[in-house]
Chains A and B, each alone.
Chain A
C-alpha cells in the first residue's frame, strides 16, 4: 500500500472518531423510541415537540441566550480595547501584560469556577444570578475575543488612523470613521464566537447559576431521568446546528475582512 493511501484511511478514521458521537445526536433525536439503542424503530418528531412544550427548558434557553449575548458584547468591548492597545500603543511592560491577559485561555475552567464562587460568595457576598455567570463567561471569552481582534488590528496600517486625523478628524472621529469599519469583520467574528462559547459552557455556569439554570445546566439535570434522554438528543441536535451556523458566519466575516484589507489568510478558527 502506498503511503498516501494509508494517510487517507487514517484521515477518514480520524474524522469518524471526531464526529461519530455528534452524528448520533440527530439519529436518536428523530428515533421513535425512549431507549437509546439500535435498531432504530421509526421516524418521529415527538421529542422536538416535547421540547417545545417544556416551559422550564424555555426559561433555561432564555437565560442562556441573555447570558451569551451580554458576554459577547462585554468580551468584545474588552477585546477591542486590548487589541487596539496591543497594536497601536507602546507602553512599559506591554508584552507581559498582553500575555497575562490571555492566560484564562489555558486555565482549567473548574479552577476558574471554584475560585469565582469563593470570591463572589465569600468575599463579595453577592447573590448568584445571571450576572455572575455573565461576569465569569466574560472572563472566559475575553481571551478569545482578543485573539480574534488582534488579527484584525495588527493587519491595520497604523498610519491609517493618523491619516484620518491629518485630514481633520479627532482621535475618536478617526477611530470611528476609519478604524472601526476596517476591523468590523473581526468584531462580528468575535461577537459570534464569544456567544457560542458562552451558550454551551457548562462547568462555570453550573457553579455560578442561582435558582434559574442555563440551558447546559438544565440538560445535565434532565440526564437523571432516562426517559428524557431522547429530548436531550433533540436539544443537542438544535445546539449543534446553531453552533455550526454561528461559527460559519464568524469565519465568513473573518475572511471577508482579510479580503477587504487585501491580505493573505493566515489561519483562524475554521
Chain B
C-alpha cells in the first residue's frame, strides 16, 4: 500500500501562536486514522489544513500524489463531516445530500438515484422529503455522512462527529462508522478527544499535544507501549512509580519504588531511554488485589485498601504500598462469588514484570 496523504514539515502559525509544529504524516489508502488529543492540541487545525480551510505556514501536503498548495477546499478530493454537521436547514434531507452533485453532469434521475442510495447506505431511506431542520442529532450526523460520501471522496474528514451525541447513540455510531468505512473503502481521518473512540475505531492513532504528534501507532501499541508520560496519562489510566533504570548487556533492569528490582521485557524498552532516573508506568488492570487465602505465581507486595469505587462490572481500588506516596490504582472485575474489599483491609497486590512501562521522568 502506498501513502494516499503525505504531510511534510507542516507548520501553522496564528499570529504568534504556533498551532502546528513540524507535522510529518503519511496515511494509507483505506486506512481509518485518528488524530487524538486534548482540546487546543492542534488536531482540528491539522484536519482543516488537509481539508483546505487553513493554509499551512510552512510544509507541503499532497493527496494521491497531487500537491495541494493553492488548491481550495472545493477542488480537493476530500469531504468533511463537521462537528456541528453544518446541515443546511432551509433544504430537505434529499437536497442536502444532493448538494454536492449540483455541478455533476449526470441526469436528474441518475442524481436522484444516487441520493436515494446514499440515504439508504446511512439508514435514512425514505427520509428524503423531510425538512432538514426537524432531524434529531443522530439523523443529522447520518445526513452529513451521506452528503459527504455521495461525492466519493478519496478522504473523508470527520471533526469530532460523535461528540454531540449521547452515550448510547455514540457507541452505536462508532460501530456504524467502522462498518461504513469498510464498506466504502474510503480513507477516514477522525479527529477526537475521546481516547476510547480512537482506540475502538482506528487502524492507527496519532496522539497530539501542543501542536506536535507525540506518538503514532496502532491502538494496541498506543495503549500498552506509550512512549511518553503525557501519552500514557492521556490514554486510559496509568499508575506512575518513581524508579531507576540500569542498562547492561543482559537488558534493562528497573529499580521501582515500592516494588523492587525487575527486568524490563525487551519489547517494552522505550527507545532512547538509557540508564538513570525514570518513571515506571503500570495500568490498573495489570495489577490485582489478592483476596484472603488467594495464592499467585506473580510477584506481590503488601498494601492497605485506601479507597473503593464500585462501577458495577468493575471495582477500582486505591491501595497504599510502602515506599510510594500515591496509592496504586487497581481495576478488578467483579466476578461471581468475589467480595468487594472494604477500606482499611490489609491485602497483597500482584504484579508482573511484563506489564511495566518505563518512561522518561
Contact = CB atoms under 8 A, between A and B. Distances in A.
A262 B73 contact: no
A264 interface: no
Interface residues of B, number: 24
B106 interface: no
A262 B133 contact: yes
Interface string A3-28: 00000000000000000000000000
A167 B133 contact: no
A182 B90 contact: yes
Contacts of A163: 80, 82, 86-88
Interface centre among B53, B73, B79, B80, by most chain A C-beta atoms within 10 angstroms, is B73
B83 A260 contact: no
A166 B133 contact: no
Contact of A261 (B79, B80, B100, B133): B133
B88 A159 contact: no
Nearest to B83: A159
A168 B102 contact: yes
B103 A178 contact: no
A159 B133 contact: no
B74 interface: yes
Interface string A131-164: 0000000000000000000000000010110111
B86 A260 contact: no
B99 interface: yes
Nearest to A182: B90
A182 B86 CA distance: 13
A260 B79 contact: no
Interface centre among B88, B147, B148, by most chain A C-beta atoms within 10 angstroms, is B88
Contact of B88 (A162, A168, A178, A262): A178
A162 B53 contact: yes
Interface string A73-110: 00000000000000000000000000000000000000
B84 interface: yes
A169 interface: yes
B151 interface: yes
A163 B96 CA distance: 11
B83 A169 contact: no
Nearest to B104: A168
Contact of A164 (B72, B88, B148, B151): B88
A162 to B, nearest CB: 6
A41 interface: no
Given A159-B82, A159-B84, A166 B90 contact: no
A170 interface: yes
A62 interface: no
B51 interface: yes
Interface string B91-108: 000000001101100000
Given A160-B88, A162-B73, A261-B133, A167 B100 contact: yes
A164 B133 contact: no
- Decide if the interface of chain A is mainly helix, strand, loop or mixed: helix
Interface in B178-217: none
Interface string A171-186: 0010001100110000
B86 A160 contact: yes
A159 B86 contact: yes
Interface in B118-170: 133, 147-148, 151
A166 B84 contact: no
Nearest to A261: B89
Given A170-B74, A182-B89, A182-B90, A157 B84 contact: yes
Contacts of B103: 168
A119 B72 CA distance: 45
A222 interface: no
A165 interface: yes
Nearest to B159: A159
Interface string B317-353: 0000000000000000000000000000000000000
A173 B53 CA distance: 16
Contacts of A162: 53, 73, 80, 82, 86
A50 to B, nearest CB: 48
A170 B73 CA distance: 9
A151 to B, nearest CB: 16
Given A163-B87, A181-B90, A182-B88, 8 more contacts: A157-B86, A159-B84, A160-B86, A162-B53, A163-B80, A165-B73, A166-B51, A166-B78
Interface of B: 51, 53, 72-74, 78-80, 82-84, 86-90, 99-100, 102-103, 133, 147-148, 151
23 contacts: A159-B82, A159-B84, A159-B86, A162-B53, A162-B82, A165-B53, A165-B72, A165-B74, A166-B51, A166-B73, A166-B78, A167-B74, A167-B99, A167-B147, A169-B74, A170-B72, A170-B74, A181-B90, A260-B89, A260-B133, A261-B133, A262-B89, A262-B133
